[in-house]
Every structure is written in structure tokens, then in C-alpha cells.
Structure 1
Amino acid sequence: MPAAPLPYALIFDMDGVIIDNTAAQARAFQLLFRDLGLTTNARRLLRRLNGMPAGEILQHVFTKPVPKKQLAEFAAQRELLYRVLYWHKRQALPGLREFLQAARAAGFRIALGTGSGTETISYILDHLDLRRYFDMVVGKDDVSKGKPHPDTYTTTAHKLGIEPARCVVFEDALLGEQAAYRAGMRCIGVSTTLNAADFQAPLTVIPDFTHLTPQQVLALLKQHPEAPKPSKQLAKRQYMRG
């Protein structure tokens, strides 16, 4: 009797992938910057640094070093603003539930790998009743280094018991895409934050999950059997002020 084929894993980022919340995130940052007397453009900031924890993002907007305790307070303020702004807008990206159900039926393992903390993950997953679709949830508290370091995705693959080469990451951010490639994984882009041309080398770019099927993912994996080499330029953790 032939051995059963090895499973593939689908690993989803949270913000901008299972939900379309980038506008609310940017607005929360912009309100915080206004309170702090900063002129930073939040949308431009997130185009470059989206995928990092808020505290780490905030490190890049000050011209002088800020104590970690104060950065944490600013991040908590931004989180409160974000939750208020997004409270009544929480909903899954179109087609997500149906795709997750179909992927599980097709034999995929499914996980979440995000730079968000436990409470923020719960704010989305449990409110939307999405946690039941995921075999594993990995957040910022589970790793020592955030994106574009590969830790989020390598940790997720390890916990799933699946080799990185058999993992596909869904990402909306440059740093997240680079984290996937650094982990030896392939990536599907989600264009809630970036245009398709902004990504480096995704298998494909989708606006949502309405027309994606597990069979299409398998076909893309066969067409692109190797993970791309990460781009040092795109992995730079810096805010481009130009």
C-alpha cells in the first residue's frame, strides 16, 4: 500500500490578509502621531514597515532614541485607537471562510503566523469565530525576532511538523513576504495594502479569497517548485521618508 502523500501547510498573516484593516491601522497611527506632534505619513510608513509589531514600527519615527517603556505606552495607545476605529468593521476578507473549509477538506494544514500579540489576535479571531479553522496560531510572544526575520514562519512550520518547503504563506506586506522567503517558503500576495507589482516574487497576487481554490494553490506549487531568494533591499527595516 503506497504511503499517503505528505501534507502542505497554508500559513496566514493576520492584518491585511484574513481581514482588511490597514486603513484603520494607518488612521490609528496618524492620530497617535498628531497627539505626539509628529508629521510622519502613516500610510507611507505602513507600506514599508507593515508586518512588524507596533512598538518596533514606532522606533522608526523618532529622530532620537525613545525608552522601551515609553514606546510600549505609545503602542498601547495606538492599539486602543485602532480597536475603537475598527470595532464595528471587523469582518473576514471575502471568500476566506469558504477557502479555509475547502483547504482543510483538501488535506492542507492551516496556521496563523502574525506579529500581533495574544489579545489582538483574540480581538479578531475570536470575535469572527475563525480560530476553529487554524491548527496552530503563532504570534509575537512566540518568537524572539519579528518579520522580516523568518522566526514567525519557521516556528509555525515546526509546530505543525511540516517542512518549510511544503508551506505557503499568505502575506500583504513586504517584510512578511521576505520573512517567508528567508524561511524557505513560497508566498501568495494579498493586495489589500500593496499593488501586485510591489511584491517581489509571489506565486500569485489575490485581492481576496473569492476565486482562489486549493487546487489552484497546488497547481501554482507545481509550477514554482522552489522558494525565491529573499531580497536584501526589500527586507530593510527602515522608513523611507522620501
Structure 2
Amino acid sequence: MKPALIFDMDGVLIDNTPYQARAFQLLFRDLGLSTNARKLLQRLNGMPATNILKTVFRHPVPEKQLKEYASQREFLYRTLYWSKRRETPGLSRFLEAARAAGFRIALGTSSPPETIAYIIDHLDLRRFFDVVVGKDDVARGKPHGDTFAVAAAKLGARPQDCIVFEDAVLGEQAAYRAGMRCVAVASGVPAKAFQAPLTVIKDFTELTPERLLELLAEQPEAPKPDKQRAQRNYMQLT
């Protein structure tokens, strides 16, 4: 049976990381925080926004307040990105080829349903996915492997038969925690930041389903997660 493919959304289907960072930076300015949003996302991208926001305060913030900040950030992001929405080069062609080759395909993201729809329905990408898993479908976000484990279960695929496409270091770690292999998309962090992906691509013009099968043969088992990468101290970012 062909492998199953599980795609993260932000930074993978779309190259939106600069707009995400700008939205966070505008929010931090309003809150009087000096945190560098670009550096923050290089380390924490892939986590739910409320979890990212927890790391920038030196005092406990109620969950309700964090959700309000996350909503404000989401509004800023959508305003900045509204006219810029476009898929990563080569994505549709790759997805069409993967489906034609018999791959099962899922979306596994930390975003809520309305944010997922804002991207994949606007770009007419939902037709490619057999399964869509978002924030509301799992108890724990990345770097835990729940998102990808749920996606695999819904696809009817074993973890060892799944390939995750991720742009974030914590997302790569989540794939390994789920017992899966990973292709890194270097849209927001340098290739050297990743632990042990099958390959690192800039966009989907650099990959074919046939090449993916060759890469799987070269790495027959999923790497073990690197605890140091997944459990860094992120509290002192400025």
C-alpha cells in the first residue's frame, strides 16, 4: 500500500510566515512587549497561538485573555494576508500527482476550522484532502504528535506508513513523536534547523511522488524525537 501524506498548513500549503510574524509583532506593540516575533516563530511556529502567547509574558495570563489576544492576532493576520493568499509553488500539481499515484492525503494543522477554511477553500485545495484535522480535533497541539496521529487514524494508515510535511522544528518533532517520517519545507527556518527529514524542499516544484518513494527507501524507520529541540527554554526571547 502507498504511504499516506499529512500536510501542515501554514508555511507548507502557503508561504505566510512573514505575515504571521508581522501580525504577532503588531500585537506585541499594542501590548507593550519587546519580543521579536520573527525569532519567536522560528522556534515556536506550529504551536497553537495561545500556547505561543503564553511564552512572552513573565506572569500568568488567564486563558480567556490569551484567547482574546489570539483573536486579535488572527484579525491582524487576515487583514495583512487577505490579498496575498496563494499556494506554495508546485503544490496543486504535486497533490494531483500524489492522488493519481494512490496516496491518501490529510491536512493536519493547529489552526481552527474558520482559519482552515480561510485558506484551503479560498484556494480550492480542500478537494485534495481525504481528511482535515485541526485544532478542535485534538486535545494537545504540537510538539505533541496528536494532530498527526488523529489524521493517520482517520485515513486508516499506520504511523510508519505516513509522511508529514512540515515547515516548523516543533512540527518535525511532532511527526517523530507520532512515529512518522517527515519532509521539511524550508519556508520560515533554515534547512540546518531540522533534525533528520527525508529531504528539505523550498517548494513543491522540487519533489515528485516517485522521488518520495525513493527517499522512504533510504530512511526505512522514523527518527526518534530530539527532546532538546522539543523542550527548549523559550521564555527569554527579546
Q: Quote the residue 1:201 is aligned against.
A: 196
Question: What does 1:10-89 align with in structure 2 at a 5 Å threshold?
Answer: 10-89=5-84
Determine which of 170, 177, 184 is the counterpart of 2:172. Answer: 177
- Whole-angstrom CA distance in 2 between matches of 1:171 and 1:179: 10
Gaps (5+ residues) in structure 2?
Answer: none
- Whole-angstrom CA distance in 1 between matches of 2:231 and 2:121: 33
Deviation by residue 1:138-180 (Cα, 9 ceiling, x = unmatched): 0010000000101000000000000000000000001100000
Deviation of residue 236 (structure 1)? Answer: 1.5
Letter in 2 for 1:105: A
Over 3 Å counting, the alpha-carbon distance change for 1:238 and 1:21 in structure 2 is farther
- Whole-angstrom CA distance in 2 between matches of 1:165 and 1:237: 27
Runs of 4+ aligned residues of structure 1 deviating over 4 Å after TM superposition are none
Assess if the C-alpha contact under 8 Å between 1:111 and 1:137 holds in 2. Answer: yes
- Whole-angstrom CA distance in 2 between matches of 1:55 and 1:95: 32
- Whole-angstrom CA distance in 2 between matches of 1:237 and 1:60: 11
Higher normalized helix content (fraction of residues): 2
Q: Quote the residue 1:3 is aligned against.
A: none
Residue 103 (structure 1) aligned with residue 98 (structure 2): yes
- Whole-angstrom CA distance in 2 between matches of 1:211 and 1:174: 20
Determine which of 102, 127, 130 is the counterpart of 2:125. Answer: 130
Letter in 2 for 1:241: L
Assess if the C-alpha contact under 8 Å between 1:169 and 1:187 holds in 2. Answer: yes
Deviation by residue 1:179-225 (Cα, 9 ceiling, x = unmatched): 00000000000000111111000000000001210000000001110
| TM-score (normalised: structure 1) | 0.96
Assess if the C-alpha contact under 8 Å between 2:56 and 2:237 holds in 1. Answer: no
- Whole-angstrom CA distance in 1 between matches of 2:209 and 2:19: 30
Query: In percent, how many aligned pairs have the same letter?
Result: 69
Alignment: residue pair count: 237
Q: Quote the residue 2:183 is aligned against.
A: 188
Deviation of residue 238 (structure 1)? Answer: 4.2
**RMSD between aligned residues:** 0.9
Q: Secondary structure at the match of 1:234?
A: helix
Q: Quote the residue 2:237 is aligned against.
A: 241
- Whole-angstrom CA distance in 1 between matches of 2:85 and 2:233: 29
| TM-score (normalised: structure 2) | 0.98
Deviation of residue 237 (structure 1)? Answer: 6.0
Deviation of residue 8 (structure 1)? Answer: 1.0
Assess if the C-alpha contact under 8 Å between 1:49 and 1:57 holds in 2. Answer: yes
Residue 214 (structure 1) aligned with residue 215 (structure 2): no
- Whole-angstrom CA distance in 2 between matches of 1:99 and 1:87: 25
Deviation of residue 19 (structure 1)? Answer: 0.2
- Whole-angstrom CA distance in 1 between matches of 2:111 and 2:76: 15
Deviation by residue 1:71-126 (Cα, 9 ceiling, x = unmatched): 00000000000000000000000000000000000110011000000000000000
